[in-house]
Chains A and B, each alone.
Chain A
Amino acid sequence: MSTKKKIRSTWLLWPALFMLVAFFLIPTLDILRASVYDPEFTTKHFTKLFSSNVYLDVLWRTIRLSCIVALICAVIAYPISYFIVQRPRKQQIFFLFLVFIPLWMSVLIRSYAWMVVLGREGLINAILIGLGFTDAPVKMLFTTGAVYVAMVQILLPIQIVTCYSAMTEIDLDLMRAARILGAKPWQAIRRVFLPLSLDGTVTGAIIVFMLSMGFFITPALVGGRKDIMMANLIEFQVNQLNWGFAAAISIVLLIGTVLCVIIIKRLSKILTGRLVGGGNA
C-alpha cells in the first residue's frame, strides 16, 4: 500500500519532469552539441571566443552589470520589503499589489517607456529645460546609466517579492524580544532581523542576477553602442546564422552564470556567519 502511495505521489511530478527534460535539458544539450560539432568535432568556436578580447570584454561587462543591478535591487528592495512586512495584513496585500503592477506590462513596453522618459525630447529633459536647470538636453538615453536605471526598475519587483516572502517567515516577536533584552532598534535589526532575512535577500539577488545575465532587449533599446551584453552577441550571431558560435557563447554564458551564483552563495554564507558571531555590538 505504501508503494502504491509513493507511485501516486511521484506521478504528480511527471508533467514537470517531462517539461524540464523536453524543453530545457534536451535543448541545452543540443546547444552544447552545436557548439562543438560543426559538423565534425571542433573547438574552433571556443578558440575564437577566448582568443579575442572583444568577447571576453562583453562577458566581463555582462557579469559586472548583472552584479551591480542585483546589488542595487537588493539595497532598494530591502527597506521596501521591511516596510511592507511591518504593515497590517490588509495593507501588505495593497502594497504588494502596487509592487506587482509594473509586471503586467512586457519588458519590451517598459523599455520603450524608458526611451520616452530619458530621450532627448523626453520627459526628464523637458522638465529640466522647463525649470531652467539646463539649456540643452542632457544625454541620458543610449548610455550605460540608462541601462542600469531601466534594468533595476524592471527587475525590482522580483527582488521585493522574494525578499518580502522571506521576511514574512520571521516572527516579529523576535524583534520585541531583542528590544526588551536590551537592543536598540538598529541593533535588533542588525543582530536579529538582518541575519534572518539575508538568505531570502540573497536568493532574490541571485534570481535578479540570473535574469540580468540574459537581458538583451533593454540594453539594446536604451544602451549605447558599447553596452552590448552576451545576449546581444548571441542574437547577432544567430541573425548571421552562425549557429555554432552562438551556441558556444551561450554555453560560456551558462557556465559563467552558474559560477557566479556559486560565488555569491559562498560570500553570503561568510557574511551571515559574520553577522551572527558578531561579538560585542
Chain B
Amino acid sequence: MSALGKVVRAGVGRKRVQTLVMVLTTMAAVTACILATGLLVASQGPYQRSFADQHGAHLNVLYDPTKASPAQLAATAHTPGVTASAGPYPALSVQPRAGADVRIPPPGSPLPPMTLVGRAKDGPMDGLRITMGRWVAGPGEVVFLDGHSPLAVGDSLQFPDLPGHPTLKVVGLATSVSWSADGWIAPEQVAALTAPGTKPAAQYLYRFAHADNDTEVEADRAALAAAVPGGALAKATSHRPAQAEANRTAATFVPFVTAFGVLGLAMSVLIIGVVVSGAVSAATRRIGILKSLGFTPAQVARAYVGQALIPAGVGTALGVLGGNLLSVPVLGVAHKALRGGLLGIPLWVDVVVPAVALAAVTGTALVPALRAGRLRTVEALAVGRTAPGARRAAARGGPVRAGAPGPIVRLQHLIGRLPVPRALSLGLATPLTRPARSATTAAAVVLGTAGVALCVGLTLSLGAFQDGLQAERSSKVVVQIPIESSTKAVDHVDEAAVAKAITTRPGTRAWYSSAPTPVAVAGNTGRSAVIAFTGDASWSGYQMISGRWFQGPGEAVVATSFLRTNQVRVGDTVTLTDNGRSIPVRISGEVLTTNDLVFVDRATLAPLGTAVQTDAVGFHIDLTPGTDAKAYADGLDDAVRPLGLSAETGGQQINIVMLAMNTLAGTLTLLLAVVAGLGVLNTVLLDTRERVHDLGVLKALGMSPRQTVGMVVTSVCGSGLVAGLIGVPIGIVLHHQVMPAMARAAGVGVPEADLTVFDPSVVGPLILGGLVLALLGALPPATWAARTRTATALRTE
C-alpha cells in the first residue's frame, strides 16, 4: 500500500467515533434526500405515470351489437385520431342486489347500476392492478373498481331477476386508470348474467393522439360515433374523471412534500458540509506532520478528501439502501392515497442523490484540505497547541493592551460575567471559538426545528380539518335508518316521536336533525344538494371558512364549491325552488365540505311545501359530560326501534389521504430531527476533541463530572434556543403557506380555526424542541468528556 493509502486508512481507522458519526450523518442525510426526492417525484403527475404504466384508455365505449356488425366495430380502430384500441369485451349494464351475507347495505337492497365487463386482468390496454384480494378465478366471482365498490371483499351480490338467480362473490378490488368498468368478471360468466332476449354490449377501449381536454375527448367520441351506424355507440366514458380525481389528490400532497423536501435537502447539505469540513479542519496538525515528512499539498488534499470520502461513501451507500427500504411503506401509503404513482424509488434518484452527496462531500473536504495543504508546515504544526479562539484573539490584538478587544472576545468576556455557574458560562462561550461551524450547525437545527413545527402544525390542522369534513359524524350518538335488516322497514319516520324520545332521555345535552331535500337552486339544477336542519346545529362540528352559521329561516350556509360554481359570495342571495315555488335565501357563511352542499334551516323551506327525505334523516345528539355514550345509545335504540330507526354511537372514519399525509410528515420530520441531532453531535464531538487538553486543565483545577457535562451540554444551549426561536416562526410561516395551498388543491378553503393551531401550549414546547434536539445531540460527547481521564487529557496536544 502506498504511503498515501496508509495515511488515509490510518486516518479513517484511528478516529473511529468521528468516522462512525460521519457514516451515520451521511446515511441519515442521504436517506432523507432519497425519500424526499422520491416523494416529490411520486407527487408529480402520478396519474400520467400510472396511465403510461397501465396503458390507459382515453375512451371506454360500449357498442350495441345489434346495431353494428363486428367488422364495423373492429374498423373503429382505424378511426382518425385513434392511436391504439382494445376489445371487444362483453359488457353488461346491471343492477344487482346485495347478497344474503352482506351486512352493509342490508341484504337484498338494490345496489347502484353498474357496468360489468368480462375480460382478463391484463391486456393490450387498461392493465388492472389488484389492490386487495385477488383476480377472478372463474365464474361466480367479481372484482370491483377500488374506491367505487358498493361492497367489501368477501361480500356477495345477487341477480334475483335473472334465470337461475346467479350470485357473485367479491374476491378483490382493482384500480383502472381509465375507470373502464365498475367491475370485472370472467368472460364465461357473461352468458349467465345476460337477461333473456338481450345481448351483451361490446366494450372497446381507445387511445387517441389528442385527448388532453374535454373538448378533444368529445371530438374523439364524436369521431367514433360517426364511424359506426347511428345509435350503435351506446355509452362512452372518458379517463378525465379518473384523471381529475387523481390529480386533485396528488396536488394536495405537493405543497407539503415540497416544503419537507426542500428542508431536508438544505439541511443535509449543511450537515454534510459541517461534518466533513470539521473533520478535515480538526486534522490540521496531522497535516503539518505529513508535510514535514515530505507530503506535497496536493497529496495532503487527496489524502483528506479520501479520508472524508470513505466514511461518507459507506454512509451514502447505507443511506441509499435505507431510503429505498423506507420508501416501501412510505411510498406505499402515498400510492394508496394517490391511487397510483410510484411504488419504488426511480433509478435516477438512486444515482443522482448519492452522486450529489459525494460531490458535496468532496467539495466541502477539498476546501479545508487545500487550505491546510497550503499552510506553512510550521504553522500547521502549531495548530492544535492553541485554541482557535485564542489565536483569533491574539491575531486581533488588544488583549494585552486591554483597549481594543475584538467583538468575539468582548462577547466571550460578557458571557463570562453572566450570573451563572462558571462551568455553564464557559459552555455558553464555546460556540464563539468556532463561530462558522457553530452557526452552520445552528442553521441545521433551525431547519430541523422548522420541520418539526411544520409537521406538528400540519398534523393539528389536518386533524381539525378532518373533524370539520366529518362534522356529521362528530356527534356522540346518531339516530338513523338502520343499515342492517333486523328492524322493520318504514316509509315515513315519525320525527316528532323520535325528537320526544331524544329530549326525554337523561343525558341529552343538545340535538339536531338533518335530511336531504329535493329542493334545487335556481340556475343550478341537480348539482347542489340542499340539506335541511332542524334544531340547534351550532354545536355541531361544521367549520366556517367565512361568515357564520345560519341563524334562522331565510339564511343558508354553502360549500366553497357552491360559491365557485355559482360565482356568488357570502352575503349574496340565491333562489331555492321546489314544487314550482321559489324563495330567496341569503348566504350567511361558507362551510367546510368537499361536497357541493347548501345547508338551511327546515323552516326556510316551509313556503316551498318541501317534503324532506325522511328515510334519510339523521338525528345527531350531544351528551352531557359524564354520560356513557354506549349505554345512552343502547337505551335510545330500544326506544327508536319501533319507529324504524336505530341509535348508535358516533365515530369518525379514517381518511387514507390524511393518514398518508400524517405518516409522510412524521417520517420526514423524524429524519430531519435525526440529521440535525447527528449534526450537533458531530459539532460538539469536534469541539470537545479540539479542547480536550483544556478539558484536562479544567478537571485538574477541580471541575467535577457534572460540571463537565453541564459545560459541554451548555455549549449547545444558546444555539439550540436561538434555533428554536428562529426555526419555529419559520415553521409557522411555512405551515400558513402550505396548509392553504393543500386546501386550494383539494378545492376547499381553510377555516381560520384550522390554521391557528399554534397556541402558546404548542409553541412553547416547539421552541424548547430546538433546545432538546441540540441537547440530545450534545449529550453523548458531554458524557465522553466527563469520563475522559484527566491525566490522559492533560497529555493530549
Chain B binds chain A: no
Show the binding face of A for B, using Cβ within 8 Å: none
